[in-house]
Structure 1
Amino acid sequence: MGIKRSFLIVVVAMCTTPVLFAQVRMDGFAFSPKLGCFHMANHSDGVGLGGEFQVRERNNLFSLGYYEGYDIFMRYPSQGPTHSVWLMIGKYRGERLSRLYYQIGISPVWGRKNYLIGNSQDIITQNFFRMGLGMQVGYALLVSRSVGLGVDMHANLNTEGCMYMPMLSLKIGRLRRSLQRE
């Protein structure tokens, strides 16, 4: 519990310190529900879902996301979902009709794994928690000022095994300024 509490304190401090000193000039924000595939090396394959909150400031992008991966092949019974929280910072290109973005940050992953013992049918369940390096690359088509459709590729590098999630997203929020006629 100590690692999770420490992580939460660091996240809150990082998010609130610039606001307290009035240093943030927010250009836009978006909430993005996401759905896609989930693959964790030596662990599971399945469906990934979650959400992300993004804040734009100049050409910088700050985001906080939560994702779950569900094993759809059920290799072992009662294997729970794999959880991950993503705290990332990055850049984006494009302001008008489309946007390309890339981010990097920290991403803890936790969940439960099941192992077979030798050739028998006995199963050992083990909980795990790993801190990882999270990376995201994405492309969004900005349909209007407040709605966009996106495709993202998430990767988490940690000691338990690499996790990959290609996802589709719906972006809702203040995505761009009004298009002016030139």
Structure 2
Amino acid sequence: MRRAVCPGSFDPITNGHLDIIGRASKLYDVVHVAVMINQSKKGLFTIDERIQMIREVTADFGNVEVESFHGLLVDFCKQRDIPAIVKGLRAVSDFDYELQMAQMNNGLSGVETLFVPTNPTYSFLSSSLVKEVATWGGDVAHLLPPTVHEALVERLAQK
């Protein structure tokens, strides 16, 4: 079985993330979406909420598994016998950082990284930017799956 992982914080998952996961799901038999746990960061959504949202919006792909991880991504890969990491690249600036990470991961464990160019429609998109624009009342509905947009609007209304 060909397996890969798409890692990230996904706070929240955007259409850009979904595009990369969907494209990976066509290349691999199983795509693991690994939701990163960073104890030093307070997310807008809990890890469990993010996992639930991702499961919901990726259900139609049929070959996506979603779970959280804490620690080194290469350990996550080793524990699940995953030989490849799939990362979306939005711009050249992403490449510099991601190349270093890919080389480190390969050096630590032999895990390969596949870089997928982001759909130009989403080349500017990040979860942080979506949250910031939404916080100030901007319309981000076209940047998120509908159920995620609804959850974002509800969460921001609670703040």
Q: TM-score, normalised by structure 2?
A: 0.26
Structure (1 or 2) with the larger CA radius of gyration: 1
**Higher share in strand:** 1
Q: TM-score, normalised by structure 1?
A: 0.24
